[in-house]
């Protein structure tokens, strides 16, 4: 029998979770005869088997190893990786699981924390064990940004920076000329500790699968939102109230801690600020280990001062929530679906002098979602609670808003767009906007609904260099052919424009208070027979005295006054 040729023209995509819903992200992609699962999350709004993706869709409910070529995890949030041990150890999967190095380090800790809450505190018995988590993580393979990983001779994957949380990545999945770019959760705007999502120029996926959590939202000015947050916290504690801010262990917690720390210092406030035990130690460990994933401001100051070592914010002391007087508490988890934040909320919710500030999205069915929706009586652990404290919902969520989603579509120019991880009505609105503005077909399947896409063939034409040079020489303007100058590239968030502003040799806009330095990625692949890493590392010490020489390369970034714009390549 002749060998069966894979169908490379047709792609099939089916959500097993996060189809017209937020929670348990899990998308099955078939491209060029290869089957790839991206994300394997858990739904926080359910406490039964509905919290897991519907794995019975794959191979009739048997082991998944023979069906899946690989699994990819975009980041460490539990709605994207929470079902991973269940999938690999209970359902059965022995193949490769790819994720970035920070995700690999952090996911194991968060999975074990969640298991302790479910089993040791809530007493669940039908749940994965510590051994399941350890065995699952042995199958996980770390990958670096922009590294092309050949899963087999036809299937390759590549990670791009997604912002959102430490280690979050978008993944390009490619077979032949066709590819799928899966965003996971991403943020197109830099924040106080992470950069903005970015893909390399020239990435043109056949299908872009994008989250759509905030598909109808265009956020207001971030500075105005921060001022409003600080004002409300300050007013509440001045009245003697207690303020609880539910957060997840890494990400938004660091963002808001940096904000409150600087405000407390500036205003000389003495009201205590606490955070869940272990939060700071954990954050310090991971941000120190993966400093190259943070934004330019954090990198710049990290040598002199660790931005995550706080003077005014300290670990939560036993019984501090019962102490009289005002206080601010950062507590996990962020959706009030269990743990310490729910325990403290039950104690504080009946006193109108207190306040809860919800800084991010909450999945339907969680206590957090009910609080945001304004419910005045909520059943928690079988007991009704009166909600009398002040409730504020301020989105500091590190998700792309409608403007950011449109920006990514404009950059990537995909043949098709698919929305997942969002509510159906919001998806429908953005779908119409994208189809009208970009004339691109948009899909928004429900869970279990298969989308079949026929890809357009691609044709690359080799143009001889002498033809290109001849065309350039025909241009009467010689300035277009050679024009060396020193400049800053300035991105204006208000107008969504990128401008090149010429500066003198000793001038720069980086020191301007109104400008915030951002990362601009320029990439080139250099091929050679052999690289002397030790010699190269020695040469590069002039630019980065703290570079790390590793077995497979060098990890570095410019420090102090060595900005990327000052580098020169010698021909």
The DSSP string of 296-322 is HHHHHHHTT--TT--SSEEEPPTTGGG
Angle, vertex CA 265, rays to CA 259 and CA 268, nearest 5: 130
What is the distance between the alpha carbons of residues 183 and 197, in angstroms, rounded to a whole number?
9
Say how far apart CA 38 and CA 80 lie, in whole Å.
9
Residue with the larger pLDDT of the pair 519 and 394: 394
Mean pLDDT in residue range 222-235: 89
Can you give the length of the chain in residues? 571
Q: Confidence class of residue 559 from pLDDT cuts 50, 70 and 90? A: very low
pLDDT at 565 over 50: no
330-344 pLDDT, tens digit per residue, is 988 888 888 889 999
Q: Which of 78, 80, 88 is nearest to 131 (CA)?
A: 88
Cβ-count burial of 498 within 10 angstroms (0-12 exposed, 13-18 middle, 19+ buried)? Answer: exposed
Please give the model's pTM, rounded to 2 decimal places.
0.74
Share of the chain above pLDDT 90, in %: 51
- Reading the block at residue 446, the tokens are 């429900």
| Cα(397)–Cα(222) distance, integer angstroms | 11
Q: Which of 172, 211, 296, 321 is catalytic?
A: 211
Kindly tell me the sign of the dihedral angle through the C-alpha atoms of 63, 126, 50, 43: negative
Residue 147 has pLDDT above 50, yes or no: yes
What is the structure's pLDDT at 74? 98
pLDDT digits (tens, 9 = 90+) for 174-222: 999 899 999 999 999 888 788 899 999 889 999 999 999 988 887 766 7
Q: What whole-number distance in Å separates Cα of residue 257 and Cα of residue 359? A: 12
Q: Is 211 a catalytic residue?
A: yes
The mean-pLDDT minimum among 121-130, 175-184, 258-267 falls in: 121-130
Q: Would the pLDDT of 31 be above 90? A: yes
Domains of the chain, each with CATH number or no CATH: 10-218+398-454 (3.60.15.10), 222-393 (3.40.50.10890), 458-555 (no CATH)
The per-residue pLDDT for 562 is: 39
For residue 568, the model assigns a pLDDT of: 30
Q: Which range has the top average pLDDT, 365-374, 409-418, 455-464?
A: 409-418
Question: How far apart, in whole angstroms, are the C-alpha atoms of residue 447 and residue 16?
Answer: 5
Q: What is the pLDDT of residues 72-109, one digit of tens each?
A: 999 999 999 999 999 999 999 999 999 999 999 999 98
Average pLDDT for residues 246-272, to the nearest whole number?
87
Cα–Cα distance for residue pair 302/291, rounded to 1 Å: 8
State whether residue 21 is helix, strand or coil. Answer: coil
CA dihedral 412, 413, 416, 420 (to 10 degrees): 40
- Which pLDDT score, from 0 to 100, does residue 333 have? 82
In this predicted model, which residue has the larger pLDDT, 438 or 521? 438
What band does 525 get if pLDDT is binned at 50, 70 and 90?
low
φ/ψ bin of 469: left (φ > 0), alpha (ψ from -120 to 50), beta (otherwise): alpha
**Please, which pLDDT band fits residue 570 given cuts at 50, 70 and 90?**
very low
Cis before 28? omega within 30? no
Residue 388 C-alpha from the chain's centroid: 34
- The two tokens of residue 224 are 């105005």
Contact 35, 29 (CB under 8 A): yes
């Amino acid at each position: 029998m002749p060998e069966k040729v894979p169908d490379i023209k047709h792609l099939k995509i089916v959500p097993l979770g996060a189809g017209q819903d937020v929670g348990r992200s899990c998308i099955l992609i078939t491209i060029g005869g290869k089957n790839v699962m991206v994300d394997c999350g858990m739904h926080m709004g359910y406490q039964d088997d509905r919290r897991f993706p519907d794995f019975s869709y794959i191979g009739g409910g048997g082991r998944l190893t023979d069906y899946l070529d690989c699994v990819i995890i975009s980041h460490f949030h539990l709605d994207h990786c929470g079902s991973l041990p269940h999938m690999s150890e209970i359902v059965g999967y022995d193949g490769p699981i790819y994720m970035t190095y920070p995700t690999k380090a952090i996911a194991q800790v968060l999975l074990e924390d969640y298991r302790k809450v479910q089993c040791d505190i809530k007493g669940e018995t039908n749940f994965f064990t510590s051994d399941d988590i350890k065995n699952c993580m042995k199958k996980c393979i770390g990958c670096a940004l922009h590294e092309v990983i050949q899963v087999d001779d036809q299937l390759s994957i590549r990670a791009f920076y997604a912002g959102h949380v430490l280690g979050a990545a978008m993944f390009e999945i490619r077979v032949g000329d066709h590819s799928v770019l899966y965003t996971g959760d991403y943020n197109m705007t830099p924040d106080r500790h992470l950069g903005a999502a970015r893909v390399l120029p020239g990435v043109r996926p056949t299908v872009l699968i994008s989250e759509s959590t905030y598909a109808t939202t265009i956020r207001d000015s971030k500075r105005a939102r921060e001022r409003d947050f600080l004002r409300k916290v300050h007013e509440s504690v001045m009245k003697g109230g207690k303020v609880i801010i539910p957060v997840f262990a890494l990400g938004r917690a660091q963002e808001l801690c940096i904000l409150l720390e600087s405000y407390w210092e500036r205003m000389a406030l003495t009201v205590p600020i606490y955070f869940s035990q272990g939060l700071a130690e954990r954050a310090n460990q991971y941000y120190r280990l993966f400093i190259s994933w943070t934004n330019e401001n954090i990198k710049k100051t990290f040598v002199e001062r660790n931005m995550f070592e706080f003077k005014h914010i300290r670990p939560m002391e036993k019984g501090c929530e019962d102490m009289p007087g005002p206080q601010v508490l950062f507590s996990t988890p962020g959706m009030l679906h269990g743990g310490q934040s729910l325990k403290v909320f039950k104690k504080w919710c009946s006193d109108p002098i207190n306040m809860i500030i919800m800084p991010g999205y909450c999945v339907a069915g969680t206590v957090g979602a009910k609080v945001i929706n304004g419910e005045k009586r909520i059943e928690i652990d079988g007991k009704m609670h009166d909600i009398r404290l002040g409730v504020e919902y301020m989105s500091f969520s590190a998700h792309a808003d409608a403007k950011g989603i449109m920006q990514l579509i404009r950059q990537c120019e995909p043949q098709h767009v698919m929305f997942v991880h969002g509510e159906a009505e919001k998806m429908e609105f953005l779908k119409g906007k994208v189809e009208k503005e970009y004339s691109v077909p948009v899909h928004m399947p429900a869970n279990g609904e298969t989308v079949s896409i026929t890809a357009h063939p691609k044709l690359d034409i080799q143009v001889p260099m002498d033809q290109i040079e001849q065309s350039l020489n025909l241009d009467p303007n010689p300035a277009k052919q050679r024009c060396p100058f020193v400049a800053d590239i300035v991105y204006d968030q208000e107008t969504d424009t990128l401008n090149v502003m010429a500066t003198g040799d000793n001038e720069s806009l980086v020191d301007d208070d109104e400008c915030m330095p951002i990362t601009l990625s320029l990439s080139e692949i250099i091929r050679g027979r052999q690289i002397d890493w030790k010699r190269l590392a020695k040469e590069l010490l002039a630019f980065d005295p703290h570079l790390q020489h590793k077995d497979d390369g060098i990890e570095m970034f410019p420090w102090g006054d060595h900005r990327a714009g000052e580098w020169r390549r010698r021909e």
